Structures are given as C-alpha cells and as structure tokens.
Amino acid sequence: MNKNYLQMSHDVIDALILLDNMRAKALKSTSGSYRIERIEQAMDYLLNTPLKQGNPKTIVRDVLGSAGSKIRNRINVIKEASEMAGIASLLVTNQTTNDYENFKLEVTDEISRIALNKQIKAVLVELASGKDAVDLAEYYNTSVKAMRTRVSKARKAYKKELGLAL
C-alpha cells in the first residue's frame, strides 16, 4: 500500500466532505446522472491526490471543472466512435454534447449551491443562460438602469462568495 494513502491533508478532507454533501443532495433531487457522475469523478481525483493543499471550496470548484471536462470529452469520443462505426449509441442519443449547454448546466448548478438569496440566484441563472440587462429588465418589468444595478450587485455577490466573476 502506498504511504500517501495513509495521510490526507485537512484541505482534501474538507473538500471531500463538501463533495459528499453535494452528492447526498444530488441523490435526493432529480438532478440527473451527469451531476452525480461529475461529483464522483471529482471525489476520485481527490482520493488520488490526498496531499493537495488549498482552500477546500476552491479545490472543489477546480476538481468539478476538471471532472466536467473529462465527462464531456468521454461523451464526444463515444459520439465520434459511434458515428465512425455507423451505429447510434444510446449514450450518445441521451447525452448533451454541446459544450455551451454543459457550461450552463455547471454554472447553474454552482449558483444553486452557493449561499445567496433567491433573487440574486435568479438573476445569476438568467445571466448564465445568455440574457443581458435589457432582457432581464423586460422580464422583471423594470427599467434597464435598475436592472443593470441589480445585475451588478448579483455579480458582486457571486464574486464575493466564490472569488470568481460571472
């Protein structure tokens, strides 16, 4: 047995706990297999790098991103192999291979998990889906200026929570 598996950094342990909580929530909801597989891929990565250091939330974000890329690549390989073989794989038929759609799914998933109020989350989800302040102003029946302020506040709250800009 490798000695590294006998030790695990506190940051990795905290990140695994966060991922396990996310997986428990995903299993209770109807979020689909993509989200669960992505979380489990991220957990596998952390188990294979037990001495990783850093902020657990940042570690989780990074490994989830890597897991999403790995899953999307696998879907694309299966799709190409199926096309080359002239068969229609059920996996290809039922899976989304559009990177933008996967990105939207990942960002929406991330937004749903952060500790922000529902109004801010709603604005962030709409922004992630490609809408701008003009579209949102029309949707929320408010002025464009007021919506730009709302969008700015939502982005600021998101950046403060995750350290990333949307």
Is this model's pTM higher than 0.85 or not?
Answer: no
Structural domain harbouring 29: 1-96
Same domain for 46 and 4?
yes
Whole-number pLDDT of residue 31: 56
With H, G, I as helix, E, B as strand and everything else as coil, classify residue 129.
coil
Whole-number pLDDT of residue 24: 84
If one counts the domains in the chain, the total is 2
Whole-number pLDDT of residue 14: 92
Whole-number pLDDT of residue 145: 92
Same domain for 18 and 72?
yes
Residue 161 belongs to what H/E stretch? helix 144-162
Same domain for 65 and 124?
no
Same domain for 126 and 86?
no
Q: What angle do CA 126, 19, 157 make, to 5 degrees?
A: 35
- Residue 1: inside a domain: yes
- Which pLDDT tens digits describe the chain residue by residue (166 residues)? 455 456 889 999 999 999 998 888 877 776 567 788 888 999 999 998 888 899 999 999 989 888 888 888 887 777 777 677 666 554 444 444 455 666 677 777 777 777 788 888 888 888 877 888 888 888 889 898 998 998 888 888 887 776 655 5
Cβ contacts of 17 within 8 Å, gap of 6 or more? 56
Specify the long-range contacts of residues 7-13, CB closer than 8 Å, at least 24 apart.
Answer: 7/50, 7/51, 8/50, 8/51, 9/50, 9/51, 9/52, 9/53, 11/52, 11/53, 11/54, 11/55, 11/56, 11/59, 12/46, 12/49, 12/50, 12/51, 12/52, 12/59
Secondary structure in 3-state letters for 26-90:
HHHCCCCHHHHHHHHHHHHHHHHCCCCCCCHHHHHHHHHHHHHHHHHHHHHHHHHHHHHHCCCCH
Whole-number pLDDT of residue 106: 72
